[in-house]
Structure 1
Amino acid sequence: MKKLITVLIILVCNTISAKVTPNSLFQDNMVLQRHQPIAVFGKATSEKTITVVFKTKIYSAKVKNGEWKVFFDESEAGGPFTLIIKGENEVVLSNILVGEVWLCSGQSNMEMPVIGNKGQPINGSNLAILRSENSQIRMFKVGKKMASEPLDACKGEWSIANPETVLHYSATAYFFGKMLQETLNIPIGLINSSWGGTPAEAWTPKDIIDSEFKDFKGWNTDDSKPQKNPAVLYNGMIHPLIPFTFRGTIWYQGEANKTYHQSYTQLFSSMIKSWRTNWNQGEFPFYFVQIAPLGWGGDNQAFLREAQLKTMLAVPNTGMAVTLDIGEQFNIHPAEKQKVGERLALWALAKDYGYKSIQFSGPVYKSMRIKGNIIAIEFDYAPNGLTTFNKELNGFKVAGADKIFHDAEAKLLKGGKLIVSSDKVEQPIAVRYGWQDWISGSLYNTAGLPASSFRTDNWDN
């Protein structure tokens, strides 16, 4: 009897050791990225060869140190398909589509669901939920997880867009994906990895923090909020996704870095570069949202918006959706998430999907000319000039050599040119727009995209 039990234990152990499991991203209802080699990977606890079958083609991979990985050939959009992984056991994944996959990350404004939060609505959410049935949109939400070391897997599951699943999914991500799907008419996969109230350093690899910011003292020291610590969310919620193949990333974050905005351009740029390096998919698109105005929190937010703008101008293949016109004075979570998602989608459609005739960015300050007490300002991304869409033009200030800013009058001339002046500044040398606690942005290009806040000086305050 003892010998029989021993044999059974050996058989069970052998079976367990040979079991093959795909990474947690590989499930029924998932979306795989088209037009790129598709990474499929997972674990197995024995040194064996596994096979993966997809679209009648058989791929094989050697298990090394308990891990395996194969790359499928590039595929056109379509489906549904079945994916079969064979080791000692067999895993069958069904209803898989091939299309466009985007990673969606950040803090609470990315996390905020379509239904909104208590007392904080999402404009148009009820009809959006009602009309959300769409088998061509698939959504994955990464479970919240902190880790001191990089993890290999995360929790979450793929769901198909319908009123029950869209209800609690990221509004920004959903509206972004919805616009892509309706425009491209192909499957869209969204992977949401976000956590409210978290700073960019939490999403940045530790080696970057240690090498580039070793002398910085501003990181979180509040033990009650460990999710803010450097690298912990990169380890637990980004690294587990590598090397899953996707098209690009959208990002909505920045409020948690306002108080040490001076380091944000370097931090954010380094974070983007590190993700690109670790994924080894080239300089994939990275589009992000400039934080909206808010009636409390101080002028640090204008400096943070500037740091985001500098990131867009410095880091290749990035783009910024401006929200200067859709903030809410006393709510850090603006309700216009549909506009945010669609503005991000315009960047992707223009830059990645061939829609060259559309405008995708709001006006960005380019240069100024001073004549007497009048400053003429020119912008990029305003090919047909500027407009206010019948709003009152406000938010401009000018200063002279004394560095004291005064409210300025701004006028749009024929052809959409902009001039600024103040009767209190005879010899202006600097202009600022939207450089205050609260503003309802009123300057647009003719495509309806708002101008970023900006300044022409580099003074400390």
Structure 2
Amino acid sequence: MANNIKLSPLISDGMVLQRDAQVKIWGNAIPDECITLTFMDKAYSTKCDKDGYFEIVLNNLPPGGPYNMTISCKDVQKEIKDVLVGDVWVLGGQSNMELPILRTLDLYEDEVKNSENPDIRHFIVPLSYNFHKPQEDISGGNWISVNPEDVYEFSAVGYFFAKIINEKYKIPIGLIRTAVGGTPAEAWLSEKTVSKFERFLSSLNRCKDDDYVKNTIDTEQRRYSDWYKRLDEKDKGLCEKTVPWFSEEYDDRNWNTIYLPRSFKGTELEKIKGSIWFRKEIYLDEKPSKEKVKLILGTLVDADETYVNGMMVGNTEYRYPPRRYTFPADVLKKGKNIIAVRLIVTHNIGSFIKDMPYKLDLGGCKIDLTGQWKYCVGTEMERLEEFTFFQYKPTGVYNAMIYPLRKYSIKGILWYQGESNTGYPYDYKEIFEAVIEDWRNTWNMGEIPFLYVQLANYEDPNGGNGWCHLRERQRRALEIPNTGMAVTIDVGGYNELHPQNKKAVGERLALWAMNKAYGENLVCSGPIYKSHKVLGDKIQLFFDYVGSGLVCKGDKLCEFTICGEDGKFVEADAVIEGDTVVVSSGKVDNPVHVRYAWSNSPDRANLYNKEGLPASPFTTEELE
């Protein structure tokens, strides 16, 4: 063993330690030697075991800082600088928790661009997975604070949550983001727990075969590289013998035209996999006066390379990120300018997603880019099969990204996940409850607050109604003690899997935190269905979290349906009576059940409380 001191990446410069708790500092040093830790004018000591492992506990630290911590073993010393003591929250889930501030700048660019708050810190756990056993430590990572350079890396949900909690309680906030885009809930379960769900066992067992995992990754990477190599070689728009199709000199007079944005479904482009080129002329009366301008192209399916006057201004490798390409204004000129998009369709039906912004932002003015574009197919290819994402498989990320955090004391957990379980939502309540129990057991800190986000409105292009079924299972998980659910049915969009309005999400989670973690007696949620009573040909609904009273945002309540014994739901009339809602329909004489906002993207949901918080979607039926 080398004569040095090795600590977890979590225990590093800029860290936030949990106040009023048992805080563990652990690592490896010199076997069988005494190790001393000095922090906040106190000294702690213990002896390393025969392997050099040590663990020191700091009890009930008061909030404050910054401080330095010194750890010494024999003649070796390590200093950790800029340490704060406050509240630490774990950010778990998939891409909507992962989503950085950088992806929300359509809404928050002006708000965050000069942000400076050294009391809010953020740590990103590196992506890793292990199917054999839990790992003792994470592979890397570092603490950053809110400043004009680093704020863009922060989880947007986490940032807006932390901002509110920090402002209200004047204590440092640490955020540990351990979220991975696309992961289903079972990926975050321990092997012991996941083994209770028989449908995951074959997948887990297969992933224990290292050769299978390695060969799959190698084969798919070769296939991916080969596909793109052949795409570029065959693409007529990139042919060296002609003027490239992204060039402003290229003559596109013989190309077809298409109105964008739109899906290619129902057009001659529907079945095309490969590259399709799009070109649009715009005219400027004068050169822009700004140093930089921004090209905004909604979101595109699947990948793109985008050019202005022959210069590539941006590219994106998959469908979900918004296309926001900033480039030097001197690329543009007075008169005619050419925007060219090389759209690469790998496995979906190509699309310029509708009802999103498509414009050239010149600062003083914005040029609308919707309308007629010219297009031509560069080359056709076979469908590119998707990767096997092993981080999505059961247990892997739990072992590598949750278990190694277990010694780091925390205040609570924020969770935003569920999208990847909508394909089969029917056992999500049991899986999600298992996640909560698993994580609480892992940290061994009792029933720490577990606050989660109910899925926002979104129209799943794969069809089905899995989103409303999953939301209902999220709602019913509120039965678990010390949990809270932020309702976000009004912050999404039918066409956006990653809604940018993460400020509302963070604020609503903060309300739950104030209630569950900080003991505030406040209205922390919109109305949540509690019970119902059949009154002849009507059903009366009762709610928790009514707050100051129920309100309808609009002329009348919408998105309520009702059914009789036949189980056929029809649109219903709904009226607020005191703290209840009474639902009926002339088509149903003997009602049995009511649903509210029961669709993937219920855009007319308008039941709120007077505090401005939306009601959760629900059904009064028993779960399947």
Please indicate, yes or no, whether the TM-score normalized by the shorter chain is above 0.5: yes
> Which residue among 5, 15, 21 is the counterpart of 2:6?
21
User: Does 2:150 correspond to 1:150?
Assistant: no
Aligned to 1:436: 599
* Aligned-residue RMSD, C-alpha: 1.9
Deviation readout 1:187-209 (Å, 9 max, x if unpaired): 11111111101011111111111
Aligned to 1:308: 474
Q: TM-score, normalised by structure 2?
A: 0.67
Deviation readout 1:5-63 (Å, 9 max, x if unpaired): xxxxxxxxxxx533221211011111111111211111235232211111121111222
Change (3 A) 1:95 1:146: same
Change (3 A) 1:152 1:75: same
Deviation readout 1:249-293 (Å, 9 max, x if unpaired): 000000111122222111111111111112111111110000112
> Which residue among 51, 68, 81 is the counterpart of 1:94?
81
User: Does 2:390 correspond to 1:226?
Assistant: yes
Equivalents in 2 of 1:66, 1:214: separation in Å? 40
Query: Is the Cα contact below 8 Å between 2:412 and 2:517 reproduced in 1?
Result: no
AA partner of residue 339 (structure 1)? A
Aligned to 1:417: 580
Q: Bigger shift: 385-394 or 358-367?
A: 385-394
> Which residue among 7, 18, 23 is the counterpart of 1:38?
23
Query: Is the Cα contact below 8 Å between 1:136 and 1:188 reproduced in 2?
Result: yes
Aligned to 2:107: 124
Query: Is the Cα contact below 8 Å between 1:391 and 1:442 reproduced in 2?
Result: no
Query: Structure 2: which 5+ runs fail to align?
Result: 207-385
User: Does 2:461 correspond to 1:299?
Assistant: no
Aligned to 1:262, the other structure's residue is in SS state coil
Residue correspondences, number: 437
Return the structure number with greater strand share.
2
Aligned to 2:35: 50
> Which residue among 333, 342, 357 is the counterpart of 2:498?
333
Change (3 A) 1:459 1:401: farther
Deviation readout 1:159-196 (Å, 9 max, x if unpaired): 11112111122100111111100111111111111110
Aligned to 2:426: 262
Aligned to 2:46: 61
Query: Is the Cα contact below 8 Å between 1:387 and 1:416 reproduced in 2?
Result: no
Aligned to 1:445: 609
Q: CA deviation at 1:327?
A: 1.9
Deviation readout 1:215-237 (Å, 9 max, x if unpaired): 55696889711111111111111
Query: Is the Cα contact below 8 Å between 2:24 and 2:55 reproduced in 1?
Result: yes
Query: Is the Cα contact below 8 Å between 1:384 and 1:416 reproduced in 2?
Result: no
Q: CA deviation at 1:368?
A: 1.6
Query: Is the Cα contact below 8 Å between 1:43 and 1:66 reproduced in 2?
Result: yes
Aligned to 2:118: 135
Q: Bigger shift: 397-406 or 80-89?
A: 80-89
Equivalents in 1 of 2:4, 2:182: separation in Å? 39
Deviation readout 1:403-458 (Å, 9 max, x if unpaired): 11111121223x35311111111111110011113212311111111111111112
User: Does 2:92 correspond to 1:105?
Assistant: yes
Change (3 A) 1:175 1:62: same
Aligned to 1:95, the other structure's residue is in SS state strand
Equivalents in 1 of 2:589, 2:610: separation in Å? 32
AA partner of residue 225 (structure 1)? F
Q: CA deviation at 1:393?
A: 2.2
AA partner of residue 307 (structure 1)? R
Aligned to 2:64: 78
> Which residue among 534, 539, 549 is the counterpart of 1:385?
549
Equivalents in 2 of 1:439, 1:342: separation in Å? 22
Query: Is the Cα contact below 8 Å between 1:122 and 1:336 reproduced in 2?
Result: no
Query: Is the Cα contact below 8 Å between 1:78 and 1:98 reproduced in 2?
Result: yes
Q: Bigger shift: 170-179 or 40-49?
A: 40-49
Equivalents in 2 of 1:339, 1:439: separation in Å? 18
Q: State the structure with more CA Rg.
A: 2
AA partner of residue 54 (structure 1)? F
Percent same amino acid among aligned pairs? 39
Q: Write the mapping of 1:136-285 to structure 2, written as runs, cut at 5 A.
A: 136-148=119-131, 149-154=133-138, 155-210=140-195, 212-214=196-198, 216=200, 224-285=388-449
Change (3 A) 1:271 1:164: same
Equivalents in 2 of 1:63, 1:395: separation in Å? 63
Query: Is the Cα contact below 8 Å between 2:556 and 2:575 reproduced in 1?
Result: no
Aligned to 2:518: 353
Q: CA deviation at 1:381?
A: 0.9
AA partner of residue 129 (structure 2)? M
Query: Structure 1: which 5+ runs fail to align?
Result: 1-15
